[in-house]
């Protein structure tokens, strides 16, 4: 009897020890774990558009040639800003939401961004994943996390997570591309108000789900990218779009400061992508580049025709030998080297435009 009792006690000890080890292995790493959720457009899209019916894809060569050595769906020769931020935060590459089999990786975060997408549902409707739909995908992920981790652990993870945004540029570019009359119906102030209003509405919904820490890049100088100069500006910067870009960059900080006042615990960082890119376009050699007017890959003036890879109607295109010498990889998007130059100081907090947090500080804050 004594032996049987002793044996039973040993089995119980082994069982509970095993349970505790399993429990620690499952929950221990999540105690201070910070996930990264990514929203927006082609500056951040890691491959969601590979899985939808659209021409806005980068799943063919030469995209991806520098780092991955194969095309991933990223509009660059290599990694994008969120890829570097994930690396600095000691996270793996954050997978696109539509990539099959990601549900075992949800605790590290998910990328919802879609190339060509805007904050407005009308921007390229039907061929991109607009910001509101991206929000719906995030809400689905939050439900999956609650199922997997339980409510308390999921809420804790969502409140520690960082939510990174790059969106709005397509909303301003698209009406000019199709010669839409929509801009005649609104003043620039009204139209920019619609775009920023949609962005802040999504931020508020994420806040309701538990999100507290947000990072934003401001609008790049769209008027002077190779695409705009070649196809819209007749060889010059396309200045008609500039009032919208300038207003966006003026109003977004005000909206974020308002959210900070209204939403308890709301923290943010706003990163100066406009100044960063303008400096490199105007003074490329100062930052180690040889070419900032023309793209590495494309055709036509400044290689501004969006033909890199020959899969978008125009089959002929030029490809440079060394993308790291260029600021732009294709007619709109930057090279991995340029993205890395932006990501590194953004992580360390130099420079930041607004908000009291660098991205590193956001990840480390409670």
Catalytic residue ranges: 42, 330, 333
DSSP symbol at 228: I
Exposure string (b/e) for 238-275, b if CB count within 10 Å is 16 or more? beebbbbbbbbbebbbebbeebbeeeeebbbbbbbbbe
Smallest CA-to-CA distance from 75 within 309, 257, 270, 366 is with: 309
- Are 125 and 56 in contact, with CB atoms under 8 Å apart? no
Q: How many CA atoms lie within 13 A of 231 on its CB side?
A: 20
> Distance between CA 57 and CA 64 in Å, rounded?
12
- Are 110 and 140 in contact, with CB atoms under 8 Å apart? no
> Distance between CA 182 and CA 200 in Å, rounded?
22
337, two tokens: 């080297």
Smallest CA-to-CA distance from 117 within 65, 173, 79, 59 is with: 173
> Which secondary-structure segment (H or E) carries 166?
strand 162-166
- Are 27 and 284 in contact, with CB atoms under 8 Å apart? no
């Amino acid at each position: 009897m004594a032996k049987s009792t002793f044996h039973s006690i040993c089995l119980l000890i082994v069982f509970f020890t095993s349970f505790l080890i399993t429990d620690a292995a499952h929950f221990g790493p999540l105690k201070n774990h910070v996930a990264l959720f990514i929203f927006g457009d082609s500056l951040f899209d890691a491959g969601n558009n590979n899985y939808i019916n659209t021409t806005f894809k980068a799943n063919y060569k030469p995209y991806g040639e520098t780092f991955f050595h194969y095309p991933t769906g990223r509009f660059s020769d290599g990694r994008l800003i969120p890829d570097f931020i994930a690396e600095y935060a000691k996270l793996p590459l954050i997978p696109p939401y539509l990539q099959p089999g990601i549900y075992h990786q949800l605790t590290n975060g998910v990328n919802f961004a879609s190339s060509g997408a805007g904050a407005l549902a009308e921007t390229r409707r039907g061929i991109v994943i607009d910001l509101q739909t991206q929000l719906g995908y995030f809400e689905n992920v939050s439900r999956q996390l609650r199922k997997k981790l339980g409510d308390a652990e999921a809420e804790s993870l969502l409140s520690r997570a960082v939510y990174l945004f790059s969106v709005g540029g397509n909303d301003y570019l698209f009406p000019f591309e199709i010669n839409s009359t929509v801009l005649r119906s609104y003043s620039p102030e009204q139209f920019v108000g619609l775009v920023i209003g949609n962005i802040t509405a999504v931020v508020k919904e994420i806040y309701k789900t538990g999100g507290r820490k947000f990072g934003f890049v401001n609008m790049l100088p769209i008027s002077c990218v190779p695409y705009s100069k070649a196809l819209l500006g007749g060889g010059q910067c396309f200045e008609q779009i500039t009032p919208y870009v300038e207003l966006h960059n003026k109003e977004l900080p005000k909206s974020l400061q308002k959210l900070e006042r209204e939403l308890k615990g709301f923290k943010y960082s706003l990163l100066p992508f406009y100044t960063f890119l303008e400096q490199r376009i105007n003074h490329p050699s100062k930052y180690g580049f040889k070419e900032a007017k023309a793209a590495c890959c494309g055709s036509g003036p400044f290689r501004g025709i969006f033909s890199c890879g020959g899969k978008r109607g125009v089959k002929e295109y030029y490809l440079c030998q060394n993308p790291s010498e260029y600021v732009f990889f294709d007619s709109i998007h930057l090279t991995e080297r340029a993205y890395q130059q932006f990501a590194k100081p953004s992580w360390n907090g130099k420079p930041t435009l607004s908000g009291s947090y660098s991205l590193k500080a956001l990840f480390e804050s409670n």
